[in-house]
A and B are shown apart, each in its own frame.
Chain A
Amino acid sequence: MGLLSDPNRRRALTNLLTRLNTPLCVVCYLAGVAWFMGLAFEPFTLRTYMSENAMGSTMVEEKFGSGERALATGREFAAHKKKADGMPVEWLVKAMQSKGLEVFTQSFSRTLPFPDENKERYMVRGTNVYGILRAPRGPRTEALVLSAPCSPGNSNNQAVGLLLGLAQYFRGQIYWAKDIIFLVNEHDLIGMQAWLEGYHHTNTTGMSWTPLHGRAGSIQSALSLELSSDVITSLDLVLEGLNGQLPNLDLANLFYAFCQKIGVLCTIQGKLQRNDWDSTSGYNNAVQTMLLMVLKQASGRSWGDHGLFLRYHIEAATIRGVNSFRQYKTDATTVGKLLEGMYRKLNNLLERLHQSYFFYLLPSLSRFVSIGYYMPAFGLLALILLLRVSANTGGSLGLVGRWRLSADLHKSKCKAADFLNAQRIQLTQAFWANGI
């Protein structure tokens, strides 16, 4: 502890900091940026792994097989949506009831501060429809959510169809330990927010909604499904939520594990994982993926319907089907199997997802950078501020200055020594008195 008690060395350090302030700042800056960029370099990152034992392996026999029927249901839904010009509430209620769910609706309205993009109106009204699959012999204390937005136009019909198909299939299974809520929300985020506020009986946005009549306890996890074509080429995972919140990393791991198992191409930030990490383009890809994630988090907005769940401590993600010009196509049955596997694993959860990281960056789905690795880069950048402050206060921080005083005590040598010794004795006594 020479720094605190040896005035000479202290002074030397201070002088050094003052003299080399600018170069030090530059070095810190460069080191910070280099560190950050290094994070995307594959050999420096860690491979993702499933922390939660309850979801340990993907040993599930997926049996969902009615993808075609689900798509037909989706088309039927589209027709009714067109007819109703919005959410076909009655049809949906009937469809869910026929699958053996307990069905409830919630209507909501919100006055917007600016006109709506599509219809240029200030008042948005809508209805959410949700059906609850009651777990056999479940006490209604835990639930999982699968949601699909009822989007305007021709998009997302397949998602609703698949949701209904899964509901029918899930209803026939005996192994559910948690209730499953199948939710079709209107007006994307507004509907989702209304439903979440209704479910938790809070009101943070001044929206008006009718109270919910069916609940299923505390929601453990949620997935939002967006699917706009009958076949897809890849599935994109969206994690960034409101205010840059992220779900537990295990949810991303689960998705990745099942994509690997079933053989579905999966992307994050719309970017496919590449194997050529040692080439420049491979590295660029990883950097772009990671920076996109940082930017999306910094924007603070929710990048999918799942983002609103995170405030309620519910781990959630959006799975978005992408149909590009790739050769390799995946049909709805396979996507259904993927979701079946994920829900069966989530159903096994004994505790909320908490084992893995909540703060992380993903340069690809199989690699992650935990907070412990990206904080040093941030720390180096933050150190510059500290250095600049010390330079601007005459080369001495507050603390440094005080100890320089003790260095100046050479002038009144004996007095100072006596004073310090007296202080020491007093301090010691004080500590003993306080029982330290």
Chain B
Amino acid sequence: MAAYKHSAVLLLCCFALVSDRTLASKPDQNRAEPEPGPESHARKSDAISPREDDSNREPEPEPAGSVQEDPGSRWQATEALDPAEEAAGTRRRAPNDQFQEELVIRPLSSGDIYSSFQFRTRWDTDFFKPGRKVANYRLFPKSLGQVITKFSVRELHVSFTQGFWRTMQWGPPFLSAPPGAELWVWFQDTVTDVDGAWKELTNVLSGIFCASLNFIDSTNTVQPSASFKPLGVGNVTNQKFLRYAVLPREIVCTENLTPWKKLLPCGSKTGLAVLLKSEKLFHSSFHSQAVHIRPVCQNWECKSTSWELRQTLNVVFDLHTSGQSKREWSLFKMFSRTLTEACPLASSSKIYVDVTDNSQGALFELSPSTPSLSQAVVLGDRRTYSVYDLVNPDAFGAQRSLNILLRWRTADSADALRPLLHGERYVAGYGLQTGEIHTLIYNNHPYRAFPVLLLDTVPWYLRLYIHTLSVTSRARDNKPSYIHYQPSKDRLRPHLLEMLLQLPPNSVTEVTVQFERALLKWTEYTPDPNHGFYVGHSMGVSILYSILGSWSSVAMDTNVCVSVFPCKEESTYFVRVYTEPLLVNLPTPDFSMPYNVICLTCTVVAVGYGSLYNLLTRTFQVDEPSPSLAKRLANIIRRMRGVPLL
């Protein structure tokens, strides 16, 4: 017990760390945004996504000014456009909702290309104001607004992913997501029946996104104790209102994409969304689409909140399967469309191309070239982006159409930057009785150790032998400082295992646990039982130290930082690492057997039961040999006389 208490204390410390860092460094954190002044409004209109937002940050001078003061600078910050917008903003009454769209293109060292769309809708409204029903929707999709109102949702994060992000080849993703469908929801603390609301919500979402989310039930829902924090405003972290579920088997295709596109204010008619053609998006190596809803602060004081809806879509196109010999990519090649206009409803519409490694144009050639560059720190790494502003008609050139072309100069692929953290998972052993789940977490940092909070959910039909749980790194026992284990209940709930591990630098940490495969009831098998049963991924949450951390304060010019992604000058950032799901074979009866079984049982019953029944009902009698004629006559006479027979 003492040990447990000790670990609990450690845990609290860690939580403090995690929550702090989460709030500070998570891309999506939006704690207090400077809003009311025209300056900050302008700044916001430029910002794309999850904005940075430290509450302790001083309102800074308009970056445009600082750049313009230095005409020799080659960084033409995108903020330079701001005064115009600012003026427009002051003239008419600013609507209380706005929409921004952006596309980030990152050429990967393997020759593949990574495109990340982000559509962000913000609405300054309160869905839960008593006595007032929100009915007048403009940009925010009504279907989701009604869901928020009806189920008192505080935060909703749902992602549909087809494929596994290849961290070792592609580097870390902007937003990671596990294969299949993942849903996690924070409910308002006014909700009394959380499980009931969750059940209904999953069914409604299932309808909205045309996905099998209705298969979420108590057997795959967990309440993680430490791995999730709300990403929006509010400090309530009572895990009672959190639900998390994963469907690793979910297959994502056009029927999920279409409803997702319909949530956009411009649909797929204009703007960046015209690029989202399913025949190309599903001709790729990786496809992930997500919807994130959360409340964010409306202004600096954070007295009232507004709702933010972020729709993201990430796709990686593969060089080898694109059927081309030349190493070049263009918007047309990727999406079979070019861009002709921005979405008229969008307050900002931009394309960013990552040119960090291409400082002198040595690696690839970008056309049409754009003079505006911006810098941002993404996932602990300072990146430089070429920016195409679609609101500005000049971006489309004389042809009235924008087709960004990226031609590689070198033919061979470079070595990818090794990600600091990555995870792997597999099932060891053979046979259908027992097995062992191995989870490997790599820390590739040369000298820093990282704490990682590992979340594992395992379905009940794998019976974990939790006493065999072992954590080793560098062939030595690595004692987790916190373990939260909730055993499964057959047919009711899954195993939940959360551990706080310290990963030594440059090491592999291996978590193993043995399990026994349960024999299911015959109606519990899926229609394809020999395919195997899916076991969800395990997830590691960690705070990483930026490689810029040590010198950022000296070298970074914070003013030119454009927030493509959280523009943080922090020395740490927050990542989630997912491992692959598992496919486990359970002992499966031969379902073509019933005929044989029926024949066999009938025979056994007929032979066994029949003979036994025969024995039981038969009366045994002494078999008299038939008496001779004389004897029979004598007996007749004896009967008449009344004396005993012979």
How near does chain B come to A311, taking the closest CB pair, in angstroms? 6
Asked if A420 is at the interface of the complex by the 8 Å CB criterion, the answer is yes
Which residues in window 145-174 of B have CB below 8 A to A?
162-164, 166, 168-169
How near does chain B come to A218, taking the closest CB pair, in angstroms? 5
- Chain A proximity mask over B525-541: 1 for CB below 8 Å, otherwise 0: 00011111010000000
Collect the chain B residues with CB atoms within 8 Å of residue A354's CB: 530, 590
Decide: A201 near B429, CB < 8 A? Known: A4-B615, A172-B320, A218-B532: yes
Collect the chain A residues with CB atoms within 8 Å of residue B583's CB: 141-142, 217-218
Task: Give the residue of A171, A201, A351 whose beta carbon is less than 8 angstroms from that of B436.
Answer: A201
Please choose the segment from B231-239, B264-272, B550-558, B617-625 that sits at the chain A interface, where 4 or more of its residues have CB less than 8 A away.
B617-625
Decide: A5 near B618, CB < 8 A? Known: A136-B284, A139-B179: yes
- Chain A proximity mask over B604-620: 1 for CB below 8 Å, otherwise 0: 00000011001111111
Tell me if A201 and B438 are in contact (CB < 8 A).
Answer: yes
How near does chain B come to A308, taking the closest CB pair, in angstroms? 11
Tell me if B164 and A140 are in contact (CB < 8 A).
Answer: yes
Collect the chain A residues with CB atoms within 8 Å of residue B582's CB: 141, 217-218
Asked if B31 is at the interface of the complex by the 8 Å CB criterion, the answer is no
| Complex alpha-carbon distance, A174 and B321, angstroms | 6
Task: Give the residue of A217, A311, A351, A414 whose beta carbon is less than 8 angstroms from that of B530.
Answer: A351
Task: Give the residue of A312, A350, A410 whose beta carbon is less than 8 angstroms from that of B430.
Answer: A312
Collect the chain B residues with CB atoms within 8 Å of residue A59's CB: none
Collect the chain A residues with CB atoms within 8 Å of residue B532's CB: 141, 218, 352
Tell me if B622 and A417 are in contact (CB < 8 A).
Answer: yes
| Complex alpha-carbon distance, A410 and B163, angstroms | 81
- Chain B proximity mask over A58-75: 1 for CB below 8 Å, otherwise 0: 000000000000000000
Which residues in window 162-186 of A have CB below 8 A to B?
171-174
Tell me if B163 and A136 are in contact (CB < 8 A).
Answer: yes
| Complex alpha-carbon distance, A157 and B531, angstroms | 35
Tell me if A352 and B531 are in contact (CB < 8 A).
Answer: yes
Residue of B nearest to A417 (CB): B620
Asked if A138 is at the interface of the complex by the 8 Å CB criterion, the answer is yes
Decide: A4 near B611, CB < 8 A? Known: A139-B248, A350-B531, A352-B531: yes
Tell me if A137 and B528 are in contact (CB < 8 A).
Answer: no
Tell me if A137 and B284 are in contact (CB < 8 A).
Answer: yes
| Complex alpha-carbon distance, A215 and B285, angstroms | 18
Tell me if A174 and B430 are in contact (CB < 8 A).
Answer: no
Residue of A nearest to B110 (CB): A100
- Chain B proximity mask over A192-233: 1 for CB below 8 Å, otherwise 0: 000000001110000000000101011000000000000000
Decide: A138 near B164, CB < 8 A? Known: A102-B169, A218-B585, A351-B528: yes
Decide: A174 near B283, CB < 8 A? Known: A102-B168, A350-B531: yes
Residue of B nearest to A424 (CB): B616
How near does chain A come to B429, taking the closest CB pair, in angstroms? 6
Asked if A428 is at the interface of the complex by the 8 Å CB criterion, the answer is yes
Asked if A134 is at the interface of the complex by the 8 Å CB criterion, the answer is yes
Decide: A5 near B528, CB < 8 A? Known: A313-B430, A313-B585: no
How near does chain B come to A392, taking the closest CB pair, in angstroms? 27
Which residues in window 308-358 of B have CB below 8 A to A?
318-321, 323
Collect the chain A residues with CB atoms within 8 Å of residue B318's CB: 136
Tell me if A421 and B530 are in contact (CB < 8 A).
Answer: no
How near does chain B come to A86, taking the closest CB pair, in angstroms? 27
- Chain B proximity mask over A398-436: 1 for CB below 8 Å, otherwise 0: 000000000000100110110011001001100100000
Collect the chain B residues with CB atoms within 8 Å of residue A420's CB: 620
How near does chain B come to A228, taking the closest CB pair, in angstroms? 30
Task: Give the residue of B248, B284, B616 whose beta carbon is less than 8 angstroms from that of A428.
Answer: B616
Asked if B581 is at the interface of the complex by the 8 Å CB criterion, the answer is yes
Residues of chain A at interface, number, CB under 8 A: 43
Tell me if B614 and A4 are in contact (CB < 8 A).
Answer: yes
Residue of B nearest to A420 (CB): B620
Please choose the segment from B120-128, B420-428, B455-463, B496-504 that sits at the chain A interface, where 4 or more of its residues have CB less than 8 A away.
B420-428
Asked if B287 is at the interface of the complex by the 8 Å CB criterion, the answer is yes
Which one of A139, A141, A427 has the highest number of Cβ atoms from chain B below 10 Å of its Cβ?
A139
Tell me if B430 and A202 are in contact (CB < 8 A).
Answer: yes
- Chain B proximity mask over A280-312: 1 for CB below 8 Å, otherwise 0: 000000000000000000000000000000011
Residue of B nearest to A137 (CB): B163
Task: Give the residue of A200, A217, A311, A413 whose beta carbon is less than 8 angstroms from that of B428.
Answer: A200
Tell me if A139 and B531 are in contact (CB < 8 A).
Answer: no
Asked if B241 is at the interface of the complex by the 8 Å CB criterion, the answer is no
Task: Give the residue of B180, B321, B617 whose beta carbon is less than 8 angstroms from that of A173.
Answer: B321
- The total of interchain contacts (Cβ-Cβ below 8 angstroms) comes to 125
Residue of B nearest to A196 (CB): B430
Which residues in window 250-287 of B have CB below 8 A to A?
282-287
| Complex alpha-carbon distance, A431 and B554, angstroms | 91
Collect the chain B residues with CB atoms within 8 Å of residue A218's CB: 427, 532, 582-585
Task: Give the residue of A171, A217, A410 whose beta carbon is less than 8 angstroms from that of B580.
Answer: A217
Collect the chain A residues with CB atoms within 8 Å of residue B323's CB: 172
| Complex alpha-carbon distance, A424 and B612, angstroms | 10
Collect the chain B residues with CB atoms within 8 Å of residue A311's CB: 430
Tell me if A134 and B166 are in contact (CB < 8 A).
Answer: yes
| Complex alpha-carbon distance, A225 and B590, angstroms | 31
Collect the chain B residues with CB atoms within 8 Å of residue A172's CB: 320-321, 323
Task: Give the residue of A137, A217, A351 whose beta carbon is less than 8 angstroms from that of B287.
Answer: A137
Which residues in window 608-646 of B have CB below 8 A to A?
610-611, 614-623
Collect the chain B residues with CB atoms within 8 Å of residue A202's CB: 428-430
Which one of B430, B438, B618 has the highest number of Cβ atoms from chain A below 10 Å of its Cβ?
B430
Decide: A137 near B429, CB < 8 A? Known: A172-B320, A354-B530: no
Tell me if A200 and B429 are in contact (CB < 8 A).
Answer: yes
| Complex alpha-carbon distance, A142 and B495, angstroms | 24
| Complex alpha-carbon distance, A352 and B530, angstroms | 6
Collect the chain A residues with CB atoms within 8 Å of residue B428's CB: 200-202
| Complex alpha-carbon distance, A351 and B592, angstroms | 15
Tell me if B163 and A138 are in contact (CB < 8 A).
Answer: yes
| Complex alpha-carbon distance, A275 and B571, angstroms | 78
Tell me if B429 and A171 are in contact (CB < 8 A).
Answer: no
Task: Give the residue of A140, A173, A417 whose beta carbon is less than 8 angstroms from that of B621.
Answer: A417
Task: Give the residue of A134, A140, A213, A431 whose beta carbon is less than 8 angstroms from that of B285.
Answer: A134
Tell me if B531 and A351 are in contact (CB < 8 A).
Answer: yes
| Complex alpha-carbon distance, A354 and B432, angstroms | 15
How near does chain A come to B219, taking the closest CB pair, in angstroms? 20
Residue of A nearest to B532 (CB): A218
Task: Give the residue of B285, B429, B620 whose beta carbon is less than 8 angstroms from that of A421.
Answer: B620
Collect the chain B residues with CB atoms within 8 Å of residue A413's CB: 622-623
Collect the chain A residues with CB atoms within 8 Å of residue B427's CB: 218
| Complex alpha-carbon distance, A351 and B436, angstroms | 22
Tell me if A352 and B321 are in contact (CB < 8 A).
Answer: no
- Chain A proximity mask over B432-455: 1 for CB below 8 Å, otherwise 0: 100010100000000000000000
Collect the chain B residues with CB atoms within 8 Å of residue A140's CB: 164, 179, 580-581
Which one of A137, A172, A215, A421 has the highest number of Cβ atoms from chain B below 10 Å of its Cβ?
A137
Which residues in window 88-110 of A have CB below 8 A to B?
100, 102
Task: Give the residue of B286, B618, B621 whose beta carbon is less than 8 angstroms from that of A137.
Answer: B286
Collect the chain A residues with CB atoms within 8 Å of residue B616's CB: 424, 427-428, 431
- Chain B proximity mask over A111-151: 1 for CB below 8 Å, otherwise 0: 00000000000000000000000101111111000000000
Which residues in window 312-360 of A have CB below 8 A to B?
312-313, 350-352, 354-355
Q: Given contacts A4-B611, A218-B532, A354-B530, could you give 17 more A-B pairs where the C-beta distance is less than 8 Å?
A: A1-B610, A1-B611, A5-B611, A5-B614, A136-B285, A139-B162, A141-B532, A142-B583, A171-B320, A172-B321, A313-B430, A354-B590, A413-B622, A417-B622, A420-B620, A424-B616, A424-B618
* Residues of B near any A CB (own CB < 8 A): 162-164, 166, 168-169, 179-180, 248, 282-287, 318-321, 323, 424, 426-432, 436, 438, 528-532, 534, 580-585, 590, 592, 610-611, 614-623
Q: List 12 A-B contacts (CB under 8 A).
A: A1-B614, A137-B285, A138-B163, A174-B321, A200-B429, A201-B436, A218-B582, A218-B585, A350-B531, A354-B530, A424-B620, A428-B616
Top 7 A-B residue pairs of the complex, sorted by shortest distance between their CB atoms:
A201-B428, A139-B179, A137-B163, A351-B530, A413-B622, A141-B583, A1-B611
